[in-house]
Amino acid sequence: MRERMKAAVIGGTGYGAVELIRLIKIHPHLKIGTVVSNSQAGNSFSEAYPHLTGILEQPLEKFDPKTLAEQNDVVFLATPSGVSSRLVPELMEEGVRCIDLSGDFRLKTEEQYESWYKHPSADRAYLNQAIYGLSEIYAEKISDARLIANPGCYPTATNLGLIPIIRTNLVDFESIIIDAKSGVSGAGRGLSLTSHYVEINENLKAYKLGKHQHIPEIEQVLEEESGHPITVSFTTHLVPMTRGIMCTMYVNLKRNLSTLEVYELYKKFYKNKPFVRVRPVGTIPATKEVWGSNYCDIGLHVDERTNRLTIISVIDNLMKGASGQAIQNANLMFGWDESTGLINIPMYP
Ligand SMILES: NC(=O)C1=CN([C@@H]2O[C@H](COP(=O)(O)OP(=O)(O)OC[C@H]3O[C@@H](n4cnc5c(N)ncnc54)[C@H](OP(=O)(O)O)[C@@H]3O)[C@@H](O)[C@H]2O)C=CC1
Ligand SMILES: CC(=O)N[C@@H](CCC(=O)OP(=O)(O)O)C(=O)O
């Protein structure tokens, strides 16, 4: 039997990390190595997350790059932005592969990162080595990577929804509008006034208008995929639910197309991609239909009155939007089938 690879997780007590732990635990070729916690080193994992009692009792450890590299084959970093830009160089210096869930290595230039994230960027040498891990689009590059910048949750849903049509000459590139909504786990486990129960419950809020850090990430990918300069209108909303993202996107078409023609184009584009489900004409995906799974479901509709295409893309932010896609990327990196350990039926209702 094949020896399982050891996977370390940093950012141990956050939501991204606990989802990674769940996925590594059930993965046939991976096992949990070191779990690093900045705030709770010395405690057992089940003290931070009692649902793991009897399942993961190992102690949380301090960050030590040398030991981490010696004892693990891959390190997942599920830390807030501004942390992995410091930790990744130390880990890579020790020769271990890294998959970073934060935004620290996604943008190509330091200037762009600093202008949107408002703190110092990672070093250019490491930005140059990072491969952007949108699995369905960059699988080949990911398989050779030593550092993967796992995409943001909103950019994953948005770009999987837009890429098939923006790769054609059928759209007005200046017309893209993205209306995005997320469940509250997207904001992480830390407490804040915006994610406070009373502020969220029975409420719907728009936030970060015109200044969301995912705008340059979305545009960077769309420009690369279309070969045209692209600026998007992107508005995020917080929805009173735990998991889930829905991006509703509007694009003006340059010539008349039917919904069926667009559906066929998308179906062909995602033909061998197990995690993108293009919904039959007339059906609209909902967040609950991908809950707990690595699927991205896409619904399409051409409004013949306005000749505008509406694309609806849903994901589970902690799965395809973060930890699920990170495992998909580890599968590609190690040469396993991309769906290894990830095929599960969405939890419905
Ligand atoms: N939640 C989501 O849906 C998504 C999240 N992401 C990104 O993934 C990363 C992790 O997100 P998420 O798990 O939700 O965030 P959380 O806030 O839930 O967890 C982050 C964890 O990182 C650790 N940490 C915090 N500050 C520091 C620090 N200064 N130095 C080292 N470690 C620190 C803490 O764990 P400990 O004290 O145990 O070390 C904390 O719990 C973030 O960059 C986020 O933006 C990306 C896509 C989707
Ligand atoms: C609901 C919610 O607050 N979501 C977060 C997603 C943050 C995130 O994932 O940040 P990076 O991808 O840049 O690391 C937000 O909108 O900022």
What would the pLDDT profile of 177-194 be if each residue is shown by its tens digit? 999 999 999 999 999 998
Assess whether 94 and 161 both reside in one domain: no
Which atom of ligand 1 is least distant from the CA of 12? 38
Assess whether 215 and 307 both reside in one domain: yes
Assess whether 54 and 179 both reside in one domain: no
Residue 241, ligand 2, Cβ within 6 A: no
Instruction: Please tell me whether residue 327 adopts helix, strand or coil conformation.
Output: helix
61 lies in a domain?
A: yes
Q: Give the count of domains, the chain.
A: 2
Q: For residue 159, what is the domain's CATH number?
A: 3.30.360.10
Residue with tokens 């200037």: 111
Domain that holds residue 203: 154-317
Instruction: Work out whether the CA dihedral 222, 228, 229, 231 comes out positive or negative.
Output: negative
pTM (predicted TM-score) = 0.98
Residue 286, ligand 2, Cβ within 6 A: no
What would the pLDDT profile of 317-335 be if each residue is shown by its tens digit? 999 999 999 999 999 999 9
Beta-bridged to residue 300, according to DSSP, are 311
Q: What is the ipTM of this complex?
A: 0.98
Assess whether 84 and 205 both reside in one domain: no
Residue 136 has pLDDT above 60, yes or no: yes
> Which numbered ligand comes closest to the C-alpha of 326?
1
Residue 318 Cα, ligand 1 centroid: separation in angstroms? Answer: 12
Taking alpha carbons only, the member of 151, 112, 113, 147 closest to residue 130 is 147
147 lies in a domain?
A: no
Assess whether 30 and 165 both reside in one domain: no
Assess whether 18 and 105 both reside in one domain: yes
> Which numbered ligand comes closest to the C-alpha of 183?
2
Assess whether 201 and 275 both reside in one domain: yes
Decide if 312 contacts 299 (C-beta within 8 A).
yes
Write down the pLDDT at residue 3.
86
Assess whether 33 and 108 both reside in one domain: yes
Angle of helix 153-166 relative to helix 259-269, nearest 10 degrees?
110
Kindly give the pairing relationship between strand 233-238 and strand 245-252.
unpaired
Atom 3, ligand 2: which residue's CA is nearest? 187
Angle at alpha carbon of residue 9, lines to 7 and 14, rounded to 5°: 150
Determine if the peptide bond prior to 349 is cis (ω within 30°): yes
Which atom of ligand 2 is least distant from the CA of 321? 9
Assess whether 57 and 169 both reside in one domain: no
Residue 213 Cα, ligand 2 centroid: separation in angstroms? Answer: 8
Which of 96, 129, 162 is the last residue before a domain boundary? Answer: 129
Residue 1 has pLDDT above 70, yes or no: no
25 lies in a domain?
A: yes
Write down the pLDDT at residue 274.
98
What would the pLDDT profile of 95-130 be if each residue is shown by its tens digit? 999 999 999 999 999 999 999 999 999 999 999 999
Residue 241 has pLDDT above 80, yes or no: yes
Residue 174 has pLDDT above 60, yes or no: yes
What would the pLDDT profile of 256-270 be if each residue is shown by its tens digit? 999 999 999 999 999
349 lies in a domain?
A: no
Atom 17, ligand 2: which residue's CA is nearest? 187
234 lies in a domain?
A: yes
Cα–Cα distances (Å) from 285 to 150, 185, 245, 312, 325, in that order, read 24, 20, 11, 7, 19
Which atom of ligand 2 is least distant from the CA of 322? 9
**Residue 79 burial (CB count, 10 A):** 24
Residue 185, ligand 1, Cβ within 6 A: yes
CA gap 311, 246 in Å, rounded = 10
pLDDT, mean of residues 137-154: 98
What would the pLDDT profile of 16-48 be if each residue is shown by its tens digit? 999 999 999 999 999 999 999 999 999 999 999
What would the pLDDT profile of 194-222 be if each residue is shown by its tens digit? 889 999 999 999 999 999 999 999 999 99
Residue 322, ligand 1, Cβ within 6 A: yes
Query: Where would I find the H helices in 227-279?
Result: 259-269
Residue 2 has pLDDT above 80, yes or no: no
Assess whether 117 and 158 both reside in one domain: no
Residue 188 Cα, ligand 1 centroid: separation in angstroms? Answer: 6
CA gap 190, 171 in Å, rounded = 40
Assess whether 228 and 299 both reside in one domain: yes
Active site residues: 153
What would the pLDDT profile of 57-103 be if each residue is shown by its tens digit? 999 999 999 999 999 999 999 999 999 999 999 999 999 999 999 99
Residue 153, ligand 2, Cβ within 6 A: yes
Write down the pLDDT at residue 184.
97
Phi, psi for 183 (deg, rounded to 5) = -75, 165
Which residues are CB-contacts of 2 (< 8 A; sequence separation ≥ 6)? 29
Write down the pLDDT at residue 194.
87
Instruction: Please tell me whether residue 297 adopts helix, strand or coil conformation.
Output: strand
Residue 40, ligand 1, Cβ within 6 A: yes
Assess whether 113 and 165 both reside in one domain: no
Q: For residue 123, what is the domain's CATH number?
A: 3.40.50.720
**Residue 4 burial (CB count, 10 A):** 15
297 lies in a domain?
A: yes
